[in-house]
């Protein structure tokens, strides 16, 4: 998983919601509300859990990602209601969606750092064993 790409994909939800409400395109609230439907969620619940499930940062990332999708589901519901002002209010700075989005970015970086740190320690241990 490219962590920078994962962070960008989650940042793009805001633009997806704005476009959907402007174009009056319905979104799948149930699918958006689930944290295992997007690419990042599939990775977190699959490969990342298998490889890094022991990491503290993985558990935090899973929780933050789930909270984000619950908040995104509320925005999606407003999108389907066609209320542009409500959508903007639900995504505004300080909103549950905005805060959850920030937390996902931070927790992905923390997971990346923990994985890198463990890899460096393993490499150092292997070198000292030579």
Residue 126 has pLDDT above 70, yes or no: no
- What domains are there in the chain, each with its CATH number? 3-128 (1.20.120)
Q: Nearest Cα to 101, choosing from 10, 39, 5, 1?
A: 10
Higher pLDDT, 5 or 88: 88
Distance CA 6, CA 21 (A): 24
Q: How many residues does this entry show for the chain?
A: 130
Tokens of 93: 């700075």
pLDDT of residue 123: 46
Indicate the average pLDDT of the chain: 90
Residue 129 has pLDDT above 60, yes or no: no
Distance CA 23, CA 129 (A): 61
Which one-letter DSSP state was computed for residue 46?
T
82: left (phi over 0), alpha (psi -120 to 50) or beta: left
Q: How confident is the model at residue 130 (pLDDT cuts 50, 70, 90)?
A: low
Distance CA 100, CA 94 (A): 10
């Amino acid at each position: 998983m490219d962590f920078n790409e994962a962070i960008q994909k989650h940042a793009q939800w805001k633009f997806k919601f704005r476009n959907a409400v402007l174009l009056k395109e319905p979104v799948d609230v149930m699918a958006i509300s689930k944290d295992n439907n997007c690419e990042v969620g599939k990775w977190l619940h699959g490969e990342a859990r298998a490889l890094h499930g022991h990491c503290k940062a993985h558990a935090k990332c899973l929780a933050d990602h789930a909270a984000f999708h619950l908040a995104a589901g509320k925005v999606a519901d407003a999108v389907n209601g066609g209320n542009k002002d409500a959508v903007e209010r639900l995504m505004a700075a300080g909103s549950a969606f905005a805060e959850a989005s920030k937390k996902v970015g931070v927790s992905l970086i923390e997971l990346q750092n923990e994985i890198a740190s463990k890899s460096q320690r393993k490499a150092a241990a292997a070198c000292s064993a030579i």
